[in-house]
Copies of this chain bind each other. A is one copy, B any other.
């Protein structure tokens, strides 16, 4: 392992440890000459400062954390997460900051995880899957851990926040469906205590005027199927269903088909998240893409600023784009189109 330490480098360069340290950090003026000597020695000995020693001395871990309290199966089927992480990483790597990922089974484990992280493992955290009145927000505030909320958290908070407008695409889809003559438009939401599910459902209710055709799912294929079955069994069945993710939409589409309904003639369908395969389904699925990587980048930048002591702020990353495809096309419509950016 790391047998060579800063002392070896100092000896090799003929200076003291302090000089080596400063030559690398630039925290105090160093003559060009000695700096060169130090760098040469470091290079020669192939030395890299120990992160753990540095973390202890500076009280900074140079790492941020994402703790996920999700079922592994849900993680595996989520198209948002990997792209989000990729975005986060692209920013963190600029400053040699590591990303610590932790998946926990329950709340107790999650609290323990955050406590451990706070004490020397991470300098900040990214909070996903926000819920109304999320317990983690005051908890992390208490812990004093810099945190960025990803999602439209409504309660007052001192944390930075990356939001998107989830309502606009819902309004746009419903508008599109209505223009095509649809009146009985249903919505299959995600769990309504998630703020993003809630925002979409609220936009649906506001646009439709009531929640008679709203059904609460849980983002799994199973719930998409079950709720579609329920909706199609209504005396006045809906002619269109707006789903809160692609997985549920596909499951619903399959079920509707198994009942000999033709999509979109008998039933129009739209999803959310724009899974990379959705455009290739047949019929191609109308969905909302949301540039998770852009949101990851924004979140990472805000967190970095917060850790450095900046004032928390909210950034709106408006990247939701509705892709209208065959699953909502009127029978005559030929080629799929992409809408402009949602306003």
Residues of A within 8 A of B (CB): 1-2, 46, 48-56, 59, 61, 63, 72, 75-79, 81-83, 85-87, 89-90, 93, 96, 98-105, 109, 115-116, 118-121, 144, 221, 246-247, 250-251, 253-254, 257, 275-278, 280-282, 292-293
Minimum CB–CB distance from A108 to chain B (whole Å) comes to: 12
Give CA–CA (A61, B1) in the complex, Å. 12
Q: How many copies does the complex hold?
A: 2
Q: Is the CB of B278 within 8 A of A49?
A: no
A89 to B75, CA, bound (A): 12
**Contact indicator A247/B277 (Cβ below 8 Å):** yes
Cross-chain contact A102 with B98 (CB below 8 angstroms): yes
Contacts of A83 in B (CB 8 A): 72, 75-76
Contacts of A2 in B (CB 8 A): 118-120
A157 to B308, CA, bound (A): 43
B120 touches A53 (CB 8 A): yes
Given contacts A82-B75, A101-B101, contact A56 B53 (CB under 8 A): yes
When the two chains form their complex, are residues A115 and B1 in contact, meaning their CB atoms are under 8 A apart? no
How far does the Cβ of A249 sit from chain B's closest Cβ, in whole Å? Answer: 10
A138 to chain B, nearest CB (A): 15
B98 and A99 contact, CB distance less than 8 A: no
Indicate which residue in B61, B76, B144, B251 contacts A82 across the interface (CB closer than 8 Å): B76
Q: List 13 A-B contacts (CB under 8 A).
A: A2-B119, A49-B119, A50-B120, A52-B56, A54-B120, A72-B86, A72-B89, A85-B101, A93-B104, A93-B105, A100-B100, A221-B276, A280-B281
